[in-house]
């Protein structure tokens, strides 16, 4: 083989190697992404069935129930339009409370319960995760529009 052919083979192998490494890196990043969904989107089946995602909203007052094992907690998360039941086994954050914003990360079970691996609570009196605030605002606007349409139809 001539020196020129050797260089071309080397460059070709280098390009193939960089391409394979890039494909592996993108594949790894894609498998670690967890998208945010509101309870309304989950109930509309927009959330991925067999994939980890984040669910956010407000903890519905009166729904926090601890199981007998002392570590498992069930509670409802709402965006003021729809509600999803969340089950979490572990220690909840200190700032977790009813009526406050929460973002959970986990999977939706076949039974319709969201099984959380992680629960994040707001950190001060004024803070709410941006995704939760947007979801609540959207649900509020849609609720106002629906109620106006209902009132208009009955008049």
Kindly report the backbone phi and psi dihedral angles of residue 33, in degrees, each rounded to the nearest multiple of 5, phi listed first: -75, 135
For the chain, the structural domain boundaries read 1-33, 34-146
Going by the annotation, the residues of the binding site for heme are 123, 127
Residues 70-121 have pLDDT tens digits of 789 999 999 888 889 999 998 888 888 888 889 999 998 888 899 999 998 8
Give 146's pLDDT tier (boundaries 50, 70, 90): low
Going by the annotation, the residues of the binding site are 123, 127
For 104, left (φ over 0), alpha (ψ -120 to 50), or beta?
Answer: beta
Residues 24-72 have pLDDT tens digits of 888 877 666 668 888 888 888 888 877 888 898 889 999 999 888 878 9
CATH superfamily of 34-146: Nucleic acid-binding proteins (2.40.50.140)
Give 18's pLDDT tier (boundaries 50, 70, 90): very high
């Amino acid at each position: 083989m001539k020196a020129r052919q050797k260089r071309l083979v080397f460059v070709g192998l280098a390009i193939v190697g960089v391409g394979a490494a890039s494909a592996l890196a993108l594949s790894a990043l894609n498998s670690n992404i967890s998208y945010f969904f509101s309870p309304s989107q989950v109930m509309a089946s927009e959330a991925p069935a067999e994939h980890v995602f984040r669910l956010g909203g407000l903890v519905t007052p009166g729904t926090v129930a601890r199981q007998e094992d002392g570590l498992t907690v069930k509670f409802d998360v709402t965006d003021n339009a729809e509600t999803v039941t969340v089950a979490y086994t572990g220690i909840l954050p200190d700032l977790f409370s009813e009526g406050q914003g929460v973002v959970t990360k986990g999977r939706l079970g076949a039974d319709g319960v969201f099984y959380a691996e992680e629960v994040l609570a707001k950190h001060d009196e004024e803070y709410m995760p941006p995704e939760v605030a947007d979801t609540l605002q959207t649900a509020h606007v849609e609720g106002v529009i629906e109620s106006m349409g209902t009132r208009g139809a009955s008049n």
